[in-house]
Structure 1
Amino acid sequence: MNDFSKTDRLMERGSAFLGSRYAILCGAMSWVSERHLVSAISNAGGFGVIACGAMTPEQLETEIAATQELTDKPFGVNLITMHPQLFDLIEVCDKAGVSHVVLAGGIPPKGSVEAIKGGQNPAKVICFAPTLALAKKLLRSGADALVIEGMEAGGHIGPVSTSVLAQEMLPELSQDHIIFVAGGIGRGNAMAGYLEMGAAGVQLGTRFACAKESIAHENFKKAFFRANARDAVASVQVDARLPVIPVRALKNKGTEEFTQKQREVAGVLDRNEIAMEEAQLQIEHYWAGALRRAVIDGDVENGSLMAGQSVGMVKEEEPAADIIAKLMTQSEDALTRR
């Protein structure tokens, strides 16, 4: 058995919080983070997270049950805060006994954290914090742990790099709170560095997207294998009144179509035909459809190839267990050399 004692010691708080062997979360990737990948990661000692995305409560209930058939290890569910049925989804998680709920996509609406923690099967709440001020507010509001994610990540991103966020937030928060670092992590060496800075663990998405157990289409995976860091670009916001959170994805025809979609939705807003919340939901639904075209249908020209800048380190299809073992070995080697 491999000796990961130095990494294990630094991950101890995170592992205890998650209930997993290693404090390595898989970022929730729509259409990718489903039962097969989530269970494989949890079975390998990591912590899988189902991406609820635009699922209905009935669909989420089915996905959780199917995941529980494949693993008896802990896993979480990622819920989008702007989902119109958020509280119904929280109830589904509660009834299924999900141990951890991750709230993403914005500030948790009033009562949501309380609903997660106060159900029949109280769950731990993990939130995303893009700034130190918001991090402190979320912790005061009941978040049990935070993920600080830098702009190098895939999918929805903030404006600040992971390394800067870590330097700003870990010294302030990590002594008393569980903080996971995400964004641009592709090797265990980087993981070791953030653990030494005080992180309780890390979250990776792009590194797991092409795991053997990932149901992503062969074309999707091949696009990742061909890509380098510079190919993963952030989307452009075309209208200041439509505060679209930037999305990082591999540049293709679909990237240009998203710019056109924003112009279209902005025009509808101009004519006062829809409310701002509905406009933002239209953008979210666009992404869900574009992601499906790439991940499930294999249309890598018109679909969305959401990927972080660590995509250049993804060169082959590997079992999730091998990816986790490599990360731990690389981290242990780095810590041993210090």
Structure 2
Amino acid sequence: MNEFPKTADLMRRGTDFLGSETAILCGAMSWVSERNLVSAISNAGGFGVIACGAMTPDLLDAEIAATRALTDRPFGVNLITMHPQLFDLIAVCERHGVSHVVLAGGIPPKGSVEAIKGGKNPAKVICFAPTLALAKKLLRSGADALVIEGMEAGGHIGPVSTSVLAQEMLPELSADHLIFVAGGIGRGETIAGYLEMGAAGVQLGTRFACAVESIAHPDFKKAFFRASARDAVASVQVDARLPVIPVRALKNKGTEAFTAKQREVADILDREEVAMAEAQLQIEHYWAGALRRAVIDGDVENGSLMAGQSVGMLKEEEPVADIVAKLMTQSEEALARR
């Protein structure tokens, strides 16, 4: 970080909190943010985050152990709040002494934050906040840091852009709290801007998805390299009674199939064959399967190509260390020009 003194100074609160060299987190991308990419990001000075997604406790246990075998640097675990075995997953993280747990997908259920922070190996809690009111509520409820993520991001998204969220939340919260900014970040100049506004650091997903160390299928990566920003579109909600969080992905047959899946789930909801929570879980399982088809099997027509709008900036595979170095260099040069 001696090479990037201005950026390091602005990131200091974030790096002290994360225990990493740079306050650059990797977004938790199911099937992508696994042991290889996570350890590479942490080894390069960033902060890798395992995407637990729909993993069972046993699978998460193995993934954390495998990641720890590849890096001695800090990394976190992202848990989905609606996972039916959330508290078992928290226990797995606690057994391994995971330093940071990221809770995503909704308001943390009662007792979950306390379980993460109150075990024999207490961890820091990072939550996603789509609105200022919810941000304040999460901080009162024990969140140690927040990620504010705009609609430009890939995967599950909210309705407001990153720049608007940053303008609304950073002036209000950043003096007393740790706020990380995410969504649509592809270059270091943007990182510099958010740091100057008070962010403790940033989170990037799409930028790392096609790194050399990413296990994503070559055809998945090629689809990213061919795409422009406007190819990354948000899914449409079919039924107002089924509150499905929109997902941003490259448009293909898979995005059309999701519309049909929503209709199917809405129908069984109509017939009262499942409860709302189970219906939403079916949607989540659909995404997990569709994403696997794209990332692991390389089915870029029928699988889910979750990508943020920064995808248009990706042109080739790069080692994670080079990506982090480029982002830091661009940030430092931008700050030097001020």
TM-score normalised to the size of structure 1? 1.00
Corresponding residue of 1:326: 326
Q: Describe the SS at the equivalent of 2:233.
A: strand
Q: Describe the SS at the equivalent of 2:179.
A: strand
Residues 1:85 and 2:85 aligned together: yes
What amino acid sits opposite 1:41 in the alignment?
Answer: I
Residues 1:243 and 2:239 aligned together: no
Q: Describe the SS at the equivalent of 2:257.
A: helix
Task: Kindly provide the CA deviation profile for residues 250-274 of structure 1, in whole angstroms up to 9, marking residues without a partner as x.
Answer: 0000000000000000000111110
Corresponding residue of 2:122: 122
Displacement, 1:229?
0.2
Task: Kindly provide the CA deviation profile for residues 188-212 of structure 1, in whole angstroms up to 9, marking residues without a partner as x.
Answer: 0000000000000000000000000
CA distance in 1, matches of 2:2, 2:184: 26
CA distance in 1, matches of 2:259, 2:88: 32
Displacement, 1:2?
6.4
Displacement, 1:3?
1.8
Could you list the structure 1 runs, at least 4 aligned residues long, displaced by more than 6 angstroms after superposition: none
Corresponding residue of 2:44: 44
Corresponding residue of 2:274: 274
Task: Kindly provide the CA deviation profile for residues 137-181 of structure 1, in whole angstroms up to 9, marking residues without a partner as x.
Answer: 000000000000000000000000000000000000000000000
Residues 1:261 and 2:254 aligned together: no
Matches within 5 A, 1:206-217: 206-217=206-217
Corresponding residue of 2:17: 17
What amino acid sits opposite 1:97 in the alignment?
Answer: G
Corresponding residue of 2:195: 195
Q: Percent identity?
A: 87
Which runs of 5 or more structure 1 residues have no equivalent in the other structure? none
CA distance in 1, matches of 2:315, 2:335: 25
Matches within 5 A, 1:176-187: 176-187=176-187
Displacement, 1:313?
0.7
Residues 1:157 and 2:157 aligned together: yes
Corresponding residue of 1:136: 136
Residues 1:233 and 2:233 aligned together: yes
Q: Describe the SS at the equivalent of 1:125.
A: strand
TM-score normalised to the size of structure 2? 1.00
What amino acid sits opposite 2:21 in the alignment?
Answer: R
Displacement, 1:303?
0.1
CA distance in 1, matches of 2:7, 2:274: 51
CA distance in 2, matches of 1:194, 1:252: 33
What amino acid sits opposite 2:222 in the alignment?
Answer: K
Task: Kindly provide the CA deviation profile for residues 29-81 of structure 1, in whole angstroms up to 9, marking residues without a partner as x.
Answer: 00000000000000000000000000000000000000000000000000000
Q: Describe the SS at the equivalent of 1:103.
A: strand
CA distance in 2, matches of 1:282, 1:4: 46
Over aligned residue pairs, what C-alpha RMSD do you find? 0.6
Q: Describe the SS at the equivalent of 1:237.
A: coil
Task: Kindly provide the CA deviation profile for residues 107-142 of structure 1, in whole angstroms up to 9, marking residues without a partner as x.
Answer: 000000000000110000000000000000000000
CA distance in 2, matches of 1:76, 1:280: 26
Task: Kindly provide the CA deviation profile for residues 218-253 of structure 1, in whole angstroms up to 9, marking residues without a partner as x.
Answer: 000000000010000000000000000000000000
What amino acid sits opposite 1:171 in the alignment?
Answer: P
What amino acid sits opposite 2:335 in the alignment?
Answer: L
Q: Describe the SS at the equivalent of 2:230.
A: helix
Corresponding residue of 2:219: 219
CA distance in 2, matches of 1:182, 1:277: 27
CA distance in 1, matches of 2:273, 2:179: 42
Corresponding residue of 2:301: 301
What amino acid sits opposite 1:83 in the alignment?
Answer: H
CA distance in 2, matches of 1:89, 1:191: 32
Corresponding residue of 1:3: 3
Matches within 5 A, 1:57-136: 57-136=57-136
CA distance in 1, matches of 2:180, 2:314: 22
